[in-house]
Amino acid sequence: MSDQLTQLMAGMQIPYGGDRVATVSDELAASFEEGDRLVVVQTTGDLLHVPAADWAVAQAAVGTAAEAFSRMATVSDDQITAFYEAFARRLEDEDVFAPIAAANRADVEQAQSRGATTTRLVLSERMRAGMVDGLWLWAGAPSGRGAVIETIRHEGWHLEQIRAGLGVVGFVFEGRPNVFADATGVMRGGNTVVFRIGSAALGTARAIVEHALDPALEEAGLPLGAASLVDRASRAAGWAMFSDSRLSLAVARGSGAAVAQLGAVARQAGIPVSLHGTGGAWIVAAESAEAEAFRAAVIHSLDRKVCNTLNTCCIVASRAEDLVPAFLDALDGAGRWRGTVSKLRVAAGDEGRIPSEWFAASEISRAEGPTVEARTEVIARDQLGREWEWEESPEVTLAIVPDVDTAVRLFNEQSPRFAASLVSEDATEHRRFFDMVDAPFVGNGFTRWVDGQYALDKPELGLSNWQAGRLFGRGGVLSGDSVYTVRSRAVQQNPDIGR
């Protein structure tokens, strides 16, 4: 018998998790060819088919990045700074940016023809400016490489704790082109990066690499593999990349299910992960909430759909009479601002708080196009944490609660434990809210402040929730300068020291 898997048969049982089996489907058996790989997710039993071509491209990209990491030790901080400056200048240059913009338009048109969402895909002037600003921020940021973060002195010798590059960072992300620039932030500390972007934005990514990224690496004298694109549209390329133990860190962001699956693949390959999937922020309006401040918090949290967008709003019952109208007015305004009509989900039992005209049929903007549906629908109270993915029509859940503590309990039980905001004039209530709510990001107004570049002046690689538990040793913002390791160096003054 060969010790290599060369074929699959329909009905074949594949063990996983130690005591369970998954069954090979007819489709998987028919598509599997000699040279392909089968990744068995040990937590779920998912059978992931990785064609040989996808595996080869991913392995080559990781190998290139690994080789580049070994060479980064001889690269100066000034060269890394020059890379960010050159990358930023090329994105600023209209002639250079023109083919990138054309590629993005083509990606958007293809996505629209499939009825797919394009909210995060469009490389707008605002997104372009954000990419450029982020690169200039990294150009001016300290490296941290070689920094002595602690010195422990002993008689005749001392020990230095020294910050150093971690290695190759694997990055899988959805179709937001700006993340492409953010991901290069890990190079500031001497790391290298290999990334795969969602198929919807692959044309844009290729254009960025060809016209801006690779020329910037060459101009700065950095190894070209320091930032490598896995140039495959198939999701299997991401599974292959995250199966490569040469990665020092696997970062994934996108939809919750896809991110969880990628994280499981990396973990079973022995790779540390940083996952950024499910989002959706909550706002709680307390008894002391000022109506206009609450209205402003809601409307400014709904300018676009991203992970820190308002998803669920809780209003204490004692203020429902005046704060529900303020909430509906803000929701209405957010829709008008986007040139459409907003969508409301109201918790079962609270529908009597909503005016009857809000239940009328309306034209709601969806990714597949406008649809006529009830503007307000009732949702079960155990579904308050469901995240709404909207295109142009802001979509939010509303629940009336007896008090702030109840809202906190619902948040801790049902949400992905990501971002929470309390609108209240009571300082004691704010302290209690911060202590009780199980979230890394807590505020007192709009939720869209949760962003590395906006809040910390550090372009982010991703924002972590606490859905799978609190993070160890770092905050919820993963940024380029938070990807490092610590080395120890002993320096003897007395050569005659021994144990």
* CATH 3.40.309.10 applies to domain 281-454: yes
Is the pLDDT score of 1 beyond 70?
no
Q: What is the pLDDT of residues 248-303, one digit of tens each?
A: 999 998 777 888 899 999 999 999 998 887 889 999 999 999 999 999 999 999 99
- Coil, strand, or helix at residue 196? strand
For residue 244, what are its two tokens? Answer: 């490569």
pLDDT top residue among 173 and 20 = 20
* Confidence label for 482 from pLDDT (cuts 50, 70 and 90): confident
- Check the CA dihedral 80-81-85-86 and report its sign: negative
Asked whether the beta carbons of 412 and 404 are under 8 A apart, the reply is no
pLDDT top residue among 70 and 183 = 70
Mean pLDDT over residues 360-378, rounded? 93
The single-letter code of the amino acid at 181 is A
Q: Average per-residue pLDDT in the chain?
A: 93
- Coil, strand, or helix at residue 173? strand
pLDDT top residue among 167 and 469 = 167
Q: What is the pLDDT of residues 241-253, one digit of tens each?
A: 999 999 999 999 8
- For 427, other C-beta atoms within 10 Å of its C-beta total 8
What does the alpha-carbon distance between residue 254 and residue 276 come to, in Å, rounded to a whole number? Answer: 7
pTM of the model: 0.86
CA atoms within 13 A on the CB side of 158: 9
Mean pLDDT over residues 213-218, rounded? 97
Asked whether the beta carbons of 63 and 180 are under 8 A apart, the reply is no
What does the alpha-carbon distance between residue 46 and residue 21 come to, in Å, rounded to a whole number? Answer: 10
Is the pLDDT score of 452 beyond 70?
yes
Mean pLDDT over residues 190-208, rounded? 93
Tokens 């293809």 -> residue: 110
pLDDT of residue 166: 95
pLDDT of residue 141: 87
Given phi > 0 = left and psi -120 to 50 = alpha, else beta, which region is 283?
beta
pLDDT of residue 2: 56
Q: Which residues contact 87 (CB under 8 A, 6 or more apart)?
A: 135, 181, 184, 212, 213, 216
pLDDT of residue 94: 97
What does the alpha-carbon distance between residue 423 and residue 446 come to, in Å, rounded to a whole number? Answer: 9
pLDDT of residue 466: 86
**Percent of the chain surpassing pLDDT 70:** 100
Asked whether the beta carbons of 196 and 228 are under 8 A apart, the reply is no
Question: Which secondary-structure segment (H or E) carries 344?
Answer: strand 343-347
pLDDT top residue among 334 and 476 = 334
Asked whether the beta carbons of 117 and 371 are under 8 A apart, the reply is no
Mean pLDDT over residues 375-396, rounded? 95
Is the pLDDT score of 81 beyond 90?
yes
Domain boundaries, the chain: 13-50, 53-277, 281-454
Q: What is the pLDDT of residues 403-423, one digit of tens each?
A: 999 999 999 999 999 999 999
Poorest-pLDDT segment among 130-139, 202-211, 249-258:
249-258
- 39 forms beta bridges with 48
* CATH 3.40.605.10 applies to domain 53-277: yes
